[in-house]
């Protein structure tokens, strides 16, 4: 019953989202209105068991559809548990090893959110992604060279993605020495 109401509300809000002009202010205001106000997020680089990096394409994010598994914490949820949940939901993968890069302030002027950054490795596919009928998504697997090239030519426009990719690549370099 609760799940049905959430799906109906999500469907309604997605219709509003799509009807709004592609305005960051309007869409940002909608996100602010519908999200919990304790906003703590997670984002991570996920390496599969052969060292390739998983990216997810979301259709709801028109300007920058490709990104890393990420999301917001649910009330009472720990950051690593939230990212484990997001990774499994978005990709169907479960990672064996984890490195936390810590908590970072997303927007110090507005105090909007804290973001926890992670590197998850030795990930294996254990299930199908949970694909919401309202949110088409696609998985792409890239090698390190492709990610580095994308990073250096500015393909990753979201600062937290750039930060966690850079930290992850640096950490992988330290491990391999």
Mark whether 74 and 152 lie in a shared domain: yes
Do 70 and 4 have their domain in common?
Answer: no
Task: Express each pLDDT in 44-79 by its tens digit.
Answer: 999 999 999 999 887 767 777 778 999 889 889 999
Same domain for 134 and 170, yes or no, is: yes
Specify whether 60 is located in the same domain as 30. Answer: no
Same domain for 87 and 66, yes or no, is yes
Residues 6+ apart with CB under 8 A from 4: none
In order of 68, 73, 83, 149, 166, the CA distances from 152 in angstroms are 17, 30, 26, 5, 10
Q: Is the pLDDT of residue 8 over 90?
A: no
Domain total of the chain:
2
Mean pLDDT across the chain, nearest whole number? 84
Taking the mean position of all CA atoms in its chain, how far away is CA 127? Answer: 18
What does the pLDDT average to over 108-136? 82
Predicted confidence at residue 148, as pLDDT, reads 94
Total-model pTM = 0.75
In whole angstroms, give the CA distance from residue 27 to residue 57: 19
What would you report as the CA-atom Rg of the chain, rounded to the nearest whole angstrom?
16
Does 41 share its domain with 30? no
Do 72 and 131 lie in a common domain?
yes
Tell me if residue 38 falls in helix, strand or coil.
coil
The residue among 147, 141, 51, 128 whose CA lies nearest residue 90 is 128
151 with 167, same domain?
Answer: yes
Residue 70: CATH number of its domain: 3.90.79.10
Please check whether residues 78 and 3 belong to one and the same domain. no
Token code pair at residue 112: 């909007």
On whether both 136 and 119 belong to a single domain, the answer is yes
Q: Are 114 and 170 found together in one domain? A: yes
> Does residue 156 sit in helix, strand or coil?
coil
| Residues 85, 145 within the same domain | yes
Confidence (pLDDT) at 39: 77
Question: Going by C-beta distance under 8 Å and a sequence separation of 6 or more, which residues neighbour residue 40?
Answer: 72, 73, 79, 113, 114, 115, 116
The 10s digit of each residue's pLDDT in 149-158 is 999 998 888 8
pLDDT at 138: 83
Residue 2's domain comprises 1-34
- Predicted pLDDT at 35: 63
């Amino acid at each position: 019953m609760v799940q049905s109401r959430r799906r109906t509300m999500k469907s309604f809000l997605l219709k509003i989202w799509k009807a709004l002009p592609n305005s960051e202010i309007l869409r940002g205001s909608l996100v602010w209105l519908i999200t919990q106000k304790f906003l703590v997020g997670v984002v991570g680089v996920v390496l599969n068991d052969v060292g390739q990096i998983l990216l997810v394409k979301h259709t709801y994010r028109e300007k920058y559809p490709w990104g890393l598994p990420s999301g917001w914490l649910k009330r009472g949820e720990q950051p690593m548990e939230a990212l484990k949940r997001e990774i499994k939901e978005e990709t169907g993968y479960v990672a064996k090893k984890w490195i936390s890069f810590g908590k970072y302030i997303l927007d110090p002027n507005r105090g909007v959110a804290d973001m926890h950054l992670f590197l998850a490795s030795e990930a294996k596919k254990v299930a199908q992604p949970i694909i919401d009928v309202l949110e088409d998504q696609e998985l792409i697997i890239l090698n390190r060279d492709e990610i580095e090239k994308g990073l250096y030519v500015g393909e990753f426009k979201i600062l937290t993605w750039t930060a966690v990719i850079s930290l992850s690549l640096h950490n992988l370099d330290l491990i391999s020495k």
